[in-house]
Amino acid sequence: MFKRNFELTYAKYREFFLPTLLITASINITSVIDSIIIGNLIGPETLAATVLCVPIMTIITCIEMILGFGGSTVATIAKAEHKFLKTKQVFTTSILVLLIVGILMAIFGTVFLGDISNILSQGNQRLFQLVNDYLGFIFIGTPLMLLSLGFSYFIRAEGKPNLATMVFIVANVVNVIMDVVFIKYVNMGIMGGSLATLVGYCFGMVLIIRYLISKDRITQFTNKIGNIFKTLKSIFVLGLSPASGQIFMFLKILIINSLVIITIGSSGAVAMATCFDVLLIVSILVAGVCETFSPIVAVLYAEKDNNAVKFVMKHSFKIAIIISILITISIIILPNVIVQIYGITGSENINATIDALRIFSLSFVGVTITFIMLFYNQAIGQNKLSFLISICEGLLILIPVAYILSNIIGIYGIWISFSIAEITTILIILVSVKIISSKSKGKYKGFLLLEKSDDLEIFDLTIKGLNEVMTLSEKIIDFSKSKGLSEKTSVYLGMAIEEILVNIINYNNNQNNLINNQNKANNKKKHAFNKKKKLDFIDILIKIGKREVILSFKDSGIEYDPTVQSDDVQKFDNITVLKKISDKISYSKILGLNNTIITIKKTN
């Protein structure tokens, strides 16, 4: 009768997906938009110049990912553990370091603009000038880009994903409009593209400043900064692994670009630029899926909620692989559309790009699988495997294979090497998982390395409302007795389930009624409305261990911590009785979900 429906987990996934996708992709999307508009308004050579600047954009994305993604994740965990000063310290450190690094990059980039442009354009004079013009405003705008994206991660973690999405939309819409204004009407050339990016992020920052000075703001700055190096270390540990993929991407682009230019010259550079731009689109979508499941899986894996981990990963693989297959098929059938979108002209350029796109796109499904496994292993703490995937896919296999094949079969060898690198990396993952699994002597099992539970019985289910609670309480008592638990333990389990669930449901009903009444009063006074929080489902995980039974409850309702004693408790209310019959109660608010865990020791 009772089953887990995973609606709560799926709702969290949906809530996180779009804002995460947009924040993760922000810099890359800016780069793709610039490439398309610049390619069409100015010409294919400028398109090649913007792609030559991808390594710089990748460095900016890396820094924003380490400090923004890493910092906001550490802050979320600290908040879940009720370490509020640490939350403020992590927030302050992340933003401060983003600002300092941004300013240093702006100074360093402006002073050494010529040298950097020369390295990126491989000494090609025409490309040098274009790269030089494009990077000037990008460097000046680096502090702004880093701060707006860094803040967006924290705003998302504070439970305001829509505002984070808005920052992105405003920055990019303004960027597109200003691209056209600066390039077409002010005739600024490629320089107009990067100035438009800078203006776009200025507008995004206005939204952030409005939020920072508003009353809605949750995380505050602190001047009690503590040990900044210790804080930075914890931020780096969480943020570096996902960023390492970006670092290898940076090196990959740098090396493969050189190899392509050496092999067939400028038409190869145009083909390469288009291929990498299409890869960026695939990466944006896959990275969005990965950063969405990453915090959810980290929490579920730590709780040994294996069924939920399997559900989230199955869903993530399904979405990402379907996306990549569709993109691959579209490119194989209609490469001309891509060529037209990017405004590529000249038969040599067009032919080289069409051939490259068709072969290169075959690697996208592989890219999707390796990317997901990289993020998954980082989320479950298999950092070494995560790093191995990252370095194999990005450098160790691709570069030597591309070099060897380019010498044997020319440019086609380079395009084929991308698929070879992905297939080999997937094989390495399979072998590594097998090795980890057998070395752990049964602790980890399967492709997802799920931790084998010591529990004798696991029962997971979802309930929808109060009418199901009593039936569940009865069923659990019968189930526990049938599994050999004592009558006392069985009845206490039934009671604990009734007390906590009735409390959660009644508390939400009462609070929402209060909000309703307030809103009616506010309506009369024309004041702002308060938002109600909907309690749709409660997920329950029951683990019967050797010595104790652990009951875990997750709900999306109004925040309620049963471990904190309320001042106006009724005698023998649900929580008072629950505390008397259970051995331990803990509570945390993670990813916007109330998470209550009750432990009851088994008696004879």
Length of the chain measured in residues: 604
Task: Quote the least distance from Cβ 497 to other proteins, whole Å.
Answer: 10
Q: Give the burial class of 369: count Cβ atoms within 10 A of its Cβ; 0-12 exposed, 13-18 middle, 19 or more buried.
A: buried
Per the listing, tokens 């072998």 go with 431
SS3 of 124, please?
coil
Nearer to other proteins, 124 or 503 (CB): 503
Of 50, 31, 45, the C-alpha closest to 176 is: 31
Task: Quote the least distance from Cβ 487 to other proteins, whole Å.
Answer: 6
Measured CA to CA in angstroms, residue 218 lies from 72, 75, 300 at distances of: 13, 12, 25
Task: Quote the least distance from Cβ 57 to other proteins, whole Å.
Answer: 58
Evaluate whether 456 touches 545 at the Cβ level (below 8 Å): yes
SS3 of 317, please?
helix
Amino acid occupying residue 471: T
Name the strand (E) or helix (H) holding 586: strand 584-590
Nearer to other proteins, 187 or 570 (CB): 570
Nearer to other proteins, 420 or 581 (CB): 581
Nearer to other proteins, 302 or 470 (CB): 470
Evaluate whether 313 touches 468 at the Cβ level (below 8 Å): no
Nearer to other proteins, 184 or 580 (CB): 580
Nearer to other proteins, 233 or 580 (CB): 580
Task: Quote the least distance from Cβ 469 to other proteins, whole Å.
Answer: 7
Evaluate whether 321 touches 368 at the Cβ level (below 8 Å): yes
- Rounded-to-integer distance, Cα 499 and Cα 469, Å: 9
Task: Quote the least distance from Cβ 470 to other proteins, whole Å.
Answer: 5
- Rounded-to-integer distance, Cα 419 and Cα 433, Å: 21
Q: Give the burial class of 337: count Cβ atoms within 10 A of its Cβ; 0-12 exposed, 13-18 middle, 19 or more buried.
A: exposed
Task: Quote the least distance from Cβ 572 to other proteins, whole Å.
Answer: 5
Name the strand (E) or helix (H) holding 79: helix 71-80
Pairing of strands 584-590, 548-555: unpaired
Neighbouring residues of 361: CB distance < 8 A, sequence distance ≥ 6: 278, 327, 328, 331, 332
Going through 318-367 in order, the beta strands assigned E by DSSP cover none
Nearer to other proteins, 72 or 574 (CB): 574
Task: Quote the least distance from Cβ 586 to other proteins, whole Å.
Answer: 20
Task: Quote the least distance from Cβ 581 to other proteins, whole Å.
Answer: 5
Evaluate whether 292 touches 21 at the Cβ level (below 8 Å): yes
Nearer to other proteins, 22 or 463 (CB): 463
Nearer to other proteins, 351 or 482 (CB): 482
- Rounded-to-integer distance, Cα 471 and Cα 554, Å: 19
> Where do runs of H (alpha helix) occur along 461-486?
466-482
Nearer to other proteins, 208 or 578 (CB): 578
Task: Quote the least distance from Cβ 542 to other proteins, whole Å.
Answer: 18
Task: Quote the least distance from Cβ 499 to other proteins, whole Å.
Answer: 6
Nearer to other proteins, 335 or 494 (CB): 494
Q: Which residues bind other proteins (CB under 8 A)?
A: 466, 469-470, 473-474, 477, 487-488, 491, 494-495, 498-499, 502, 570-574, 576-578, 580-581
Task: Quote the least distance from Cβ 496 to other proteins, whole Å.
Answer: 10
Neighbouring residues of 161: CB distance < 8 A, sequence distance ≥ 6: 15, 16, 18, 19, 20, 155
